[in-house]
Amino acid sequence: MPQKAKTADRQISIKPAINAAIVFAVFLLGGTIAFVFFEGGLQDRADEVQIIYKDLLDFRSTLTLVDQQLSVVHDRPEVMESIVENTKLLQFRSDSFQERADKVGMPELASWMKEQSPMLENMLGDIRRKNPDAAKSISLMILELDDVILRTAIDVRLATDKVNDAVMLFFFVVLAVLVLLILSAGWVIVNNYRQTVIPLNRLAEKLRTLNEELPESFHDTAEEVKRNIRSKEISSDVNQITDSIVRFCQNIEMKNKKLDELFIKDEKTNLYNYRHFKDHLIVDVARAKRYNEKVSIAMVDIDHFKAYNDANGHVAGDIVLERMARIIREECRESDIPARFGGEEFAILFPRTDSRKAVEIVDRLRQIIAAEPFYHEKALPGGQLTVSGGVATYPQDAVDWYSLINNADKALYSAKQTGRNRVIHFKQVEKGEEASSK
């Protein structure tokens, strides 16, 4: 009997639990250090791929500028000099792309850029000789570059996904280690620190449930953690862990939103990019055809922008682009899709809008921009920075989305040719062509 009482009253030793905790701590510390290096490498690669993607967009912008300059140059030495300088810049950047692509493990991009170096060299020679084949080579290169940019965008998403997957995997491994530690030392903790271990057990149970039924959305995950785990009855340390989990999920959600914006927004103007604009245009034209509705688009171009850039520098030109983009966003309706089409040219999609309303919106936009004060605009022809616009409407002006863009562009060209700082509808262009033919 005395022996039995002695056994019942004997305190359970916590030394094995402490030893186990030390082993787990060492294991977790080593794993964390390894993960930090591993995740850092993945993040560095993701950042570099993203920078390459942005540089490719700039590369395409420069190539498009050369293409546009070749299409309008008529023995103008200053334009030819600009074309040659831009082509040399493309040569230099293609060599840089090769090294960076090899460094981050993008052999297809490196191989493609390697092929472009001699092509750019030949192109430079054709340009200097004023060979018309140069324009064809540039158009072909732009088409190939669009495919390269698309593949690079996919690489950006994949690289970011790898970082997210690694973080999530580490997150779940840490949770698994914590759960295992709690289970292995639970019987000791329950008998010695009942008031402390009860909330920890409840937290572990809720974390295991969350792990089994984890929502796909990071936002839903954070809400689930706050609703089912955080409680006033649990210790402050456990609540701090819960808050860290919530912040982690929210940070991942925020980064994913920024990445999504990167894919649809133009970085310099914060307007939608051409790809997003075209996707909406195709859908809206198809819907208009099905429901017998109208869709209008406007092409807007800054007048004498090259002269302004040459006189004041590209930094001042970028400021003008940003301010005009802001004005366009403010004057467009919520349903409209304003986008940067390329260079100093903008495009606006007007769903369910007839030509009269579209011309009215664009002309109001033109007047606001003409009244807006810009740095050193007095030196330009007319003493102010202005825009010209061309409008076309489906179905009266086009049979599909592609011809709608072309006809709006023709109207813009007519506005440029007839004095600038005006908005012309495609019907006016057609009437002028009919009159000239008679």
Catalytic residues: 344
> Which DSSP string corresponds to 386-411?
-EEEEEEEETTS-SSHHHHHHHHHHH
Taking phi over 0 as left and psi of -120 to 50 as alpha, with beta for the rest, 423 belongs to beta
Cβ atoms of residues 412 and 390 within 8 Å:
yes
Give the tokens for residue 391.
């409008």
Contact 311, 242 (CB under 8 A): no
425 sits in which H/E element: strand 423-425
CA distance 419 to 72: 17
HSE-CB at 44 with a 13 A cutoff on CA atoms is: 10
3-class secondary structure, 86: helix
Q: At 432, list the tokens.
A: 């002028």
Residue 344: CB atoms within 10 A of its CB come to 21
* CA pair distance 371, 237, nearest whole angstrom: 60
Burial class (CB in 10 A: 0-12, 13-18, 19+), 308: buried
Q: CA 263 to CA 244: how far, in whole Å?
A: 29
Neighbour order of strands in the sheet with 345-351:
337-342, 345-351, 295-302, 387-394, 423-425
Residue 420 tokens, joined: 């600038």
| Cβ-Cβ contacts under 8 Å for 278 (sequence gap 6 or more) | 401
Report H helices in 349-400. Answer: 355-371
Classify each residue of 347-375 as buried b or exposed e, where b means 16 or more C-beta atoms within 10 Å of its C-beta: bbbbbebebebbbebbeebbeebeebebe
Going by C-alpha positions, the residue among 370, 236, 206, 216 that lies closest to residue 304 is 370
Helix count (H) and strand count (E) of the chain?
A: 14, 5
The answer to whether residues 152 and 58 touch, using CB atoms and an 8 Å cutoff, is no
